[in-house]
Amino acid sequence: MSGVGEIGVVRAVVCEDEPLARRAMDDYLADVRWIELVATAGDGREALRLINKHEPDLVFLDVRMPGMSGVEVLEALDHRPAIVFTTAFDEYAIQAFEHGAVDYLVKPFGRDRLVQTLDRVRVRLVGEARARRLPVDRPAGEQRGASGEGGSLERVFAKHRG
């Protein structure tokens, strides 16, 4: 992955067919100084083309898009970035994690949930020890937990057979 060695800048692509959701992601990511948004795609075929062209470190990939689904895009990629799936449907989560997704954001999600995802992205891209030493980009007044410190994930709950 290019440019991530010292986490100078993480190059990202947002693939989202809904204009309002795409704009919200653009706005959220604009506040994160270590992410450079290099492209946005509105459908699956454009997503595939832009990801292979720009070779980003990180992709926010909607599961259901016209042209190709997010999973189809992922399976067709030449370049292998870190993937965060974004969708209004929770039934694709297991499939997403089987494909190595860093996280799975269920829409609508807010800035707090995106901050949790970005913490996971940082650990995935630079390693846990180095990520702890990096400054955390949070909008003024926002903290994780009562003490302002984030904890480790201890449990994951998933529905199985309904």
CA atoms in the 13 A half-sphere facing the CB of 90 = 8
Percent of the chain exceeding pLDDT 70 equals 74
- Find where tokens 């630079």 sit: 126
pLDDT tens digits, residue range 34-67?
Answer: 999 999 999 999 999 999 999 999 999 999 999 9
Sheet of strand 58-62, all strands in order from the earlier edge strand to the far edge: 35-41, 10-15, 58-62, 82-87, 103-106
pTM: 0.73
Interval 64-115: pLDDT, tens = 999 999 989 989 998 889 999 998 877 777 777 877 888 888 888 888 899 8
Distance, in Å, from the CA atom of 87 to the CA atom of 92, rounded to the nearest integer, reads 9
Query: Which residues are within 8 A (CB) of 91 and not within 5 positions of it... i.e. 6 or more apart?
Result: none
* Cβ–Cβ under 8 Å, residues 91 and 43: no
